[in-house]
Amino acid sequence: MSRIAYVNGRYVPHAHAMVHVEDRGYQFADGVYEVCEVRDGKLVDERRHMERLQRSLSELRIAMPMATNSLRVVLREVVRQNLVGDGLVYVQVTRGVARRDHAFPTTPVKPALVVTARNVSRAKSDAQAEAGISVVTVPDNRWKRVDIKTVGLLPNVLARQTARDRGAREAWFVDREGFITEGASSNAWIVTAAGTLVTRSANSGILRGITRTVTLEAAGIAKLAVEERPFTVAEAMAAKEAFLTAATQIVMPVIEIDGKKIGDGRPGPVALALRARFHDKAEIGD
């Protein structure tokens, strides 16, 4: 089966899915994106992802490329045409195509819309969660608007490569004060010795992850103590558990930070329980 992508109004074979060289996403990273989990062919937390997409776009003064309901139809169609059971759907909106000039185009251009989807093995992800993953820490050298989900991801790309070079799966950014902000493409969490779940507040320095929001709700229902506050690398290393959240990872236990084992060096019960219960709390589409 050949993959299909949606590009500016057309469903095209993946190999022929092209955007113009003067697309502002290509030249300036002037655009935003969303990644939504697909489970059993259904979109997970689509409403929240659409709301965040709308927010990211409005922060950059880019119009929604089409009505949300129409976009939902396109997402479903791309998932369907690619025969995605478990996997992800990717949506990218850029300001559009215009002669290269840093300021916004003076004559209105249509925002450019790309949607792709692909399968991701649930068994592989579950096996990884059972084993746990390693993370490394890197200085957070990103701009201050990381609350906007822009395609300007170069620091994240370099951080993830550093993780790979050091044999780890993810990199956790550390701010100037020594507090962990978030991962290259995930939110960071710990469970303290007292059993309190800690994750940085979404008010500064991080993207408000959808998986983070749903995990906070699940933790509340499970009557777990939760604190939304920054935590240092030292606190994370001394924690009972650590884990990360992202739409493509769900809740992923972290067993090692910069080579230091967390807790007993195995995935923790809180992380595994939150992972197991996640889809009871998430909104599963039709």
Among this protein's residues, is 124 annotated catalytic? Answer: no
Tell me 161's DSSP state.
H
φ, ψ of residue 265 in degrees (nearest 5): 80, 15
CB of 171 to ligand PMP, least distance (A): 11
Catalytic-role residue among 42, 149, 261, 281: 149
Helix extents (H) in 117-268: 122-131, 154-165, 210-221, 233-237
**According to the binding rule CB under 6 A, does residue 211 interact with ligand PMP?**
yes
Among 186, 200, 205, 278, binds ligand PMP (CB under 6 A): 186
CB of 187 to ligand PMP, least distance (A): 5
Contacts of 175 (CB under 8 A, 6+ apart): 140, 181, 205, 230
CB atoms inside a 10 Å sphere around CB 272: 18
Half-sphere exposure of 85 (CA within 13 A, CB side): 3
**According to the binding rule CB under 6 A, does residue 275 interact with ligand PMP?**
no
Alpha-carbon distance 179 to 163, whole Å?
18
**According to the binding rule CB under 6 A, does residue 190 interact with ligand PMP?**
no
CB of 20 to ligand PMP, least distance (A): 26
Contact between 125 and 159 (Cβ < 8 Å)? no
Tell me the pairing of strands 260-261 and 170-174.
unpaired
CB of 207 to ligand PMP, least distance (A): 4
**According to the binding rule CB under 6 A, does residue 31 interact with ligand PMP?**
no
Alpha-carbon distance 174 to 205, whole Å?
10
CB nearer ligand PMP, residue 46 or residue 241: 46
CB nearer ligand PMP, residue 156 or residue 232: 156
The residue behind tokens 């709301």 is 51
Among 245, 257, 267, 281, binds ligand PMP (CB under 6 A): 245
Alpha-carbon distance values, 239 to 22, 267, 277 (Å): 48, 12, 22
CB of 159 to ligand PMP, least distance (A): 10
> Of 55-114, which residues contact ligand PMP (CB under 6 A)?
none
Q: How many residues bind ligand PMP (CB under 6 A)?
A: 13
**According to the binding rule CB under 6 A, does residue 187 interact with ligand PMP?**
yes
CB nearer ligand PMP, residue 182 or residue 241: 182
From the number of C-beta atoms within 10 Å of its C-beta (0-12, 13-18, 19+), residue 94 rates as buried
Nearest C-alpha neighbor of 115 from the set 154, 65, 160, 152: 65
**According to the binding rule CB under 6 A, does residue 250 interact with ligand PMP?**
no
**According to the binding rule CB under 6 A, does residue 199 interact with ligand PMP?**
no
Among 95, 185, 268, 275, binds ligand PMP (CB under 6 A): 185
Q: Which stretch binds ligand PMP (CB under 6 A): 85-93, 158-166, 204-212, 253-261?
A: 204-212
Catalytic positions, written as ranges: 149
Q: Which residues are near ligand PMP by CB under 6 A?
A: 35, 182, 185-187, 207, 209-212, 245-247
